[in-house]
Amino acid sequence: MSDITQLRIEGMHCGACVATVEKALRKVNGVEDVIVSLTMGSARVVGAASANDLVTAVLNTGYSAELGVAQVQDPLQGTYTAGAKKNMMVAWLITTPAMALMAVEMIWQLDQASTDFFHLVMTILTSAVLFGPGRSTISSAWKSLLYWSPNMDVLIALGSTAALSTGILYFTMGMHSFAGIGGMIMAFHLTGRYIEAKARGRSSEAIRKLMDRTAKKATILDKNNREQIVDVRDLLPDQVMIVRAGDVIPTDGVIIEGQAAVDEALVSGEFIPAVKGINDEVLGGTICTDSTVKIKVTKTGADTFLAQVIQLVAQAQTTKVPIQVFADRIVSYFVPIILGLALLTFMVWVMFPELMTAVLKVFAVYLPWVDPFQTPAELAVFAAIAVLVIACPCALGLATPTALMVGTGLGAERGILIRDGAAIQRLSTVSTILFDKTGTLTVGKPTVTKIHQTADVAEKDLLTMAASLSKESTHPLSRAIVDLAEKEGHSLQAVRNVEVAPGEGLSGHYKYDSLKIGSRKYTAADSGLKLSTTAVYMTRNDELIGIFELEDILKPDAQDVVAKLKQAGYHCVILTGDNHAVATSLAEQLGIMDVHTELTPNRKMEIIMYYQKDGAKVAMVGDGINDAPALAKADVGIAMAGGTDIAMEAGDIILSSKNLQALYRAVKLSTATFKKIQQNLFWAFIYNLVAIPLAIIGILHPVIAEVAMALSSITVIGNANRLRRIPL
């Protein structure tokens, strides 16, 4: 197995930075594969490369690096977002007065002295924008050029500085100055960068919350059989832990004394605690609900179940997403081509001035701003700068963030929170939607669905007795019975001498009778009924008087939403930690044929990978801690509200409503938003494809270019806002 080296990297702020670091690391001798994560500020390098060589390679690109895993809580993200907002606001604070002055200059005829002063002010204001808030863009462009990895910042930097240079050429060569547009270019770019920074989720938050689930301290028995509190990190295999009711089990182990109901939602996602006794395995992070047990430690640290879950989430989150590949491809072709075209334009005008001037004279008849009588050098500089300015991807830079801004804002108003913009692209290609059962398709807690009276006892009295005894327990099944009684307005009575059998049931004295409620084994009752649901039996003086059937019922809109998704062509699948009989019964109600039951978190993720290997694009809908790895590994993770924070942080899309209709709206919104992104990119590229040839032959006046750029940006923004017309 190849060696893996983890690096902590600081200074990255965009996808271009990631590409630069990856390129540098791949050149190191012995490197087999590299994954650089912007959100986690880390690099995972596979291969036998020297650690020192890897660190040196990153340092040579201008970023800082050190050995070790990145911190879970990365303060750089919040700092960068705040910095991006500040840069945007300062840029527009300077650019807005410049735009007002440009409007004045266009409307009123200025004398030469006023014109000179106007261009001087434009040059100064643009310089302030470029080398103030735009300094990071200029720096990024310079670094990417140094390491032969040109990014979009290169065009922004060259386009804006080229526009600024015309301000100097105005005073030295008499060339028309359009320096003011340089500030506009940078202001638009910094706005897009802020939107991107704000939308970018902190993926590491999911891991931090998983780590918060672990216990910090553990109570162990020392050599003298006395209790001692120690740090969980100091636990050793074979030590004996004391875990009491309500405690989080500190680490993986085996029960050696006692019996307890253990909440294993961390593993199965199911609401009913599992009864654990001697020789049963228990996992760190699960909760002992109703008794005291002694547990022998079997695993610690990175070997524990919860640590494995954390690792699975981290690995899934560092996988590259399709939109990154798409952006990298655009950058790798678009930027070098434009740079080459600008250089080629200059050379053609210098080498073939007569031919180019002849072409220009043809258009001069129809276009009053075309002046073919300037010197060849002026025309060459004019055309080359025009190519850079007109190709500067203002509309291209706005195409994605504006559509995302409108789409995510519209979603937030409808209870749809999109944490990862790339999920919009991936969701548009999804063919299979996998559902967790409990809390996603169902309400997430047991509900009494039927009461069987097996003796001459009125249902009201039966429910009152059962609830009066059940109120002494916090078990979910007991709470369901109490909730029903309270809902129906029954007055609960005092019960004496209550005894709890962990995970089995309760007994006590109600008035003059002895009551028992719990499992069939605990009550020693047999009704002869064949029940496919969870059942709670109740005896009075050892006589069976009633049976309560409980189910985790479907959400009211589950059938309608699944039917809509199936009609839209999606393949629906259920993944659950519940038993096969319960899950298949529920699937039949929904009309879902594919059901995978009794799954661990790792198995859920493996099944997702199975569908992916079979060619399917997969969306996972869940709400439990056990769903976190699956949500992260799926092409799109959709987390339901009311679930754990872990699942919500691991999801790309979060539904703040428990209503499943929000899922259908999310699918519809994401698909529409991605279509707008595609349309915006199309119009942005068409603008460049039409305008660049005009700039090359010298007939595109910089003022016209400026207006065209503004119109292209307005078109992109207007098209994005058409999303608001979509009925959700």
User: What single-letter DSSP state applies at residue 371?
Assistant: -
Q: Would you give the distance in Å from CA 307 to the centre of its chain?
A: 21
Q: Is 442 left (phi over 0), alpha (psi -120 to 50) or beta?
A: beta
Can you give the pLDDT at residue 660?
A: 87
Domains of the chain: 4-70 (3.30.70.100), 210-316 (2.70.150.10), 416-443+555-656 (3.40.50.1000), 447-551 (3.40.1110.10)
- pLDDT class of 627 with cuts at 50, 70, 90: confident
- Note the Cα 416 to chain centre separation in Å: 13
- Give me the pLDDT at residue 22, please: 84
| 725 or 558, greater pLDDT | 558
Q: Does 436 qualify as catalytic in the annotation? A: yes
The answer to whether residues 54 and 14 touch, using CB atoms and an 8 Å cutoff, is: no
Whether residue 559 has pLDDT greater than 80: yes
Cα dihedral: 160, 163, 164, 168 (round 10): 160
Is the pLDDT score of 619 beyond 60? Answer: yes
Task: Identify which of 159, 113, 228, 124 has the alpha carbon closest to the alpha carbon of residue 391.
Answer: 159
Q: Is the pLDDT assigned to residue 578 strictly greater than 90? A: no
Rounded mean pLDDT, 309-321: 56
**In the predicted structure, residue 505 carries a pLDDT above the cut 80:** yes
Q: Write down the pLDDT at residue 156.
A: 78
pTM: 0.60
**Tens digit of each residue's pLDDT (9 = 90 or more) over 168-201:** 888 887 777 778 878 888 887 788 677 655 644 4
pLDDT one-digit tens code per residue, 61-119 = 777 788 875 544 444 455 567 788 899 999 999 999 988 888 777 677 676 778 888 88
Digit-coded pLDDT (tens) for 509-545: 998 899 999 988 899 887 778 776 788 999 999 999 9
Confidence at residue 201, expressed as pLDDT on a 0 to 100 scale: 40
581/708: higher pLDDT = 581
Mean pLDDT of 325-329: 58
111 half-sphere exposure, CB direction, 13 A CA radius: 1
| Per-residue tokens: 219 | 């109570």
508 DSSP 8-state letter: E
Please tell me whether residue 546 adopts helix, strand or coil conformation: strand
468 phi, psi to nearest 5 deg = -60, -40
Whether 661 has a pLDDT exceeding 70, the answer reads yes
Residue 380 in this model has a pLDDT that exceeds 50: yes
> Which of 33-37, 497-501, 613-617 shows the lowest mean pLDDT across its residues?
33-37
Q: Quick check: 264 pLDDT over 50? A: yes
pLDDT bin (cut points 50, 70, 90) of residue 267 is low
| Mean pLDDT on 128-138 | 92
- Is 546:481 a contact under the CB 8 Å cutoff? no
Are 341 and 322 spatial neighbours (Cβ–Cβ below 8 Å)?
no
What would the two tokens of residue 632 be? Answer: 């992260």
Predicted local confidence at residue 204, as pLDDT: 44
- The mean-pLDDT minimum among 104-118, 333-347, 416-430, 702-716 falls in 702-716
What is the average pLDDT across 35-56?
83
pLDDT at 596: 93
Q: Is the pLDDT of residue 696 over 70?
A: yes
Give the lowest-confidence range in 177-181, 553-557, 563-567, 574-578: 177-181
Rounded CA gap, 296 and 606, in Å?
30
Q: Average the pLDDT over each of 36-40, 511-515, 555-559 and give the range with the smallest value.
A: 36-40
Cα–Cα distance measured from residue 346 to residue 383, given in angstroms and rounded to the nearest whole number: 7
Q: What is the pLDDT of residue 199?
A: 46
Instruction: Please report, as a single letter, which amino acid is at residue 196.
Output: E
Identify the CA nearest to 385 among candidates 2, 702, 49, 723: 702
* Structural tokens at position 19: 């590409």
pLDDT of residue 108: 74
What's the confidence (pLDDT) of residue 538?
Answer: 95
Mean pLDDT of 58-62: 80
Q: Is the confidence at residue 468, as pLDDT, over 80?
A: yes
- Give percent above pLDDT 90 in the chain: 31
Question: Which of 423, 318, 338, 304 is CA-nearest to residue 673?
Answer: 423
* pLDDT, position 72: 43
CA angle 39, 42, 46 (to 5 degrees): 130
pLDDT, mean over the chain: 82
pLDDT of the residue at 140: 78
The rounded distance, in Å, linking the Cα atoms of 443 and 415 is 18
The reported pLDDT for the residue numbered 568 is 92
The dihedral over CA atoms of 304, 307, 309, 314, expressed in degrees to the nearest 10, equals -160
Q: What was the pLDDT predicted at 203?
A: 36
Residues 649 and 210 sit within 8 Å (Cβ to Cβ): no
User: How high is the pLDDT of residue 71?
Assistant: 46
Report the alpha-carbon distance of residue 332 to residue 16 in Å, rounded.
10
Residue 257 CB neighbours (<10 A) = 13
pLDDT classification of 642: cutoffs 50, 70, 90: low
| Active-site position among 74, 328, 436, 627 | 436
Q: What is the pLDDT of residue 423?
A: 79
- In terms of average pLDDT, the best of 27-36, 577-586, 619-628, 702-711 is 27-36
pLDDT at residue 326 in the model = 65
User: What letter does residue 365 receive in the DSSP assignment?
Assistant: T
Residue 41 has a pLDDT of 73
